[in-house]
Each structure stands twice: as C-alpha cells, then as structure tokens.
C-alpha cells in the first residue's frame, strides 16, 4: 500500500470514528438506544481499522479484526490494557444483539456508560496510531 493511500485510509477511518460517536450521542438524547449501540461499536471499529491500516493489516471480518487487535496490542505488545479490549468486545456483542435480536432491549444508563468507556478506548487507540 502506498504511503499516501495508507495515510488517507487512516484519516478517513478516524473521521468515520468521530462521526459515529457524534451520532451515538445524538441517538442517546433521542432515546434511540439501538442506533446508539450500533454507532458506539462502529466508532471503535473505525479507530481499530485505522490502526490496522497503519500496520497494513486488512480484513473485512469484524471478528478477525478484533482478534488481531487483541493478539497484537493486548497480548503480545502489551500496549493496550485488557480492560480496554473488554470494552471493545462488549460494544461488539451489544451491537450484535441490538441489531439482530428482536427482543433485545437496552437502557439509557448502560448505553451512556458504554459511550463513556468507548471514548476512552478511542482516545487510547488514537494515541497508538
């Protein structure tokens, strides 16, 4: 991947992360918790995708990206605390449930808490990039 393209892809994914988090905040205000959970997860996903691009790791599978991040940055390099990875995984699981389980229901307190934790995650991962 050319350096110029790599930097462009990183920039685009970081912008997508910021946008997703803004939409999550608006969605919480509108009590649209399913949308908020979706956007919280994607805010985290986009920042990890930017990190992956930096390291020339490309995948279309969310589980593969999560696994790579956990292996490289939590277990091998020990740059990211396991607690931060758990936030990412929690966001992924809740996004899956809220998007695909018709009976799943979340509450404002949980979604606000996850948003706060996701912001910490994104801040830490952005520093690595």
pLDDT tens per residue across span 75-117: 999 999 999 999 999 999 999 999 999 899 999 999 999 999 9
Q: Which residues make Cβ contacts (< 8 Å) with residue 32, sequence separation at least 6? A: none
Rounded CA-CA distance 80/98 in Å is 27
Report residue 107: phi and psi, to 5°.
Answer: -130, 160
Rounded CA-CA distance 74/64 in Å is 15
Residue 124: pLDDT band (50, 70, 90) is very high
Q: Which residues make Cβ contacts (< 8 Å) with residue 122, sequence separation at least 6? A: 17, 21, 43, 44, 47
Domain ranges, residue 81 = 3-128
Report residue 89: phi and psi, to 5°.
Answer: -65, -40
Residue 4: pLDDT band (50, 70, 90) is confident
Residue 69: pLDDT band (50, 70, 90) is very high
Is pLDDT of 50 > 60?
yes
pLDDT digits (tens, 9 = 90+) for 9-28: 999 999 999 999 999 999 99
Q: Give the CATH number of the domain where residue 27 resides.
A: 1.20.120.330
Q: Give the max Cα distance, the chain.
A: 46
The count of domains in the chain is 1
Rounded CA-CA distance 96/8 in Å is 29
- Kindly state the tokens that stand for 24: 């999550």
Please tell me the pTM assigned to this model: 0.94
Average pLDDT of the chain? 95
- Kindly state the tokens that stand for 70: 């956990």
pLDDT of residue 1: 52
Query: Can you tell me whether residue 31 is helix, strand or coil?
Result: coil
What's the whole-number mean pLDDT along residues 52-71? 96
pLDDT of residue 3: 72
């Amino acid at each position: 991947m050319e350096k110029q393209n790599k930097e462009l892809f990183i920039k685009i994914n970081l912008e997508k992360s910021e946008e997703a988090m803004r939409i999550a905040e608006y969605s919480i205000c509108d009590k649209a918790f399913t949308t908020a959970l979706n956007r919280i997860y994607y805010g985290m996903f986009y920042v990890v995708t930017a990190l992956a691009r930096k390291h020339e790791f490309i995948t279309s599978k969310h589980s593969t990206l999560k696994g790579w991040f956990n292996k490289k940055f939590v277990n091998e390099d020990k740059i990211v605390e396991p607690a931060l990875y758990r936030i990412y995984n929690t966001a992924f699981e809740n996004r899956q449930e809220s998007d695909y389980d018709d009976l799943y229901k979340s509450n404002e307190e949980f979604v606000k808490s996850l948003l706060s934790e996701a912001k910490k995650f994104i801040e830490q991962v952005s520093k690595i990039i």
